[in-house]
Amino acid sequence: MGAVLYLARPTDPAVFGWLDRAGLHPLAQLARALRHAVYAHVHLPGWFRGSASDVAYAFALGALLADAPSLIVALGMFVVLGHEIAQGLGLAAGTFDVRDLVVLFVSFVVAQVAFRPLGLSGLRSRRISS
């Protein structure tokens, strides 16, 4: 789902350049053509086009790491926010946007809260109240 939302962005995602640099030109051209078709025919609000793929990416990684040790969760948060921060520092191509940073952070945290297992204390309180 995140990949489809990524194709609805108003600008070519960085992955297209990565594919070109890796020598995968036909795949990059196919992805660009698909992105242009999606952008031209799927009408979504601008804010949604810009942020939906970030939400999907950060939420998916947050959900994936929901049961991980704290250090891994912290590394996951660093990965989620890293590219946007690198853009702000001029270390990565793209435009730094505070809104993207907030969307990434909130999506990761919501997934952590939604998917983190309750643990033994949560199970005991459920059994007592049942």
Angle among Cα 21, 96, 57 to the nearest 5 degrees reads 70
Residues 6+ apart with CB under 8 A from 19: 25, 27, 28, 31
More confident residue, 1 or 91: 91
Asked whether the CA dihedral 83, 84, 89, 95 is positive or negative, the reply is positive
Q: What is the pLDDT of residue 6?
A: 67
Q: What is the pLDDT of residue 9?
A: 67
In the predicted model, is pLDDT for residue 2 greater than 80?
no
In the predicted model, is pLDDT for residue 72 greater than 90?
yes
More confident residue, 37 or 79: 79
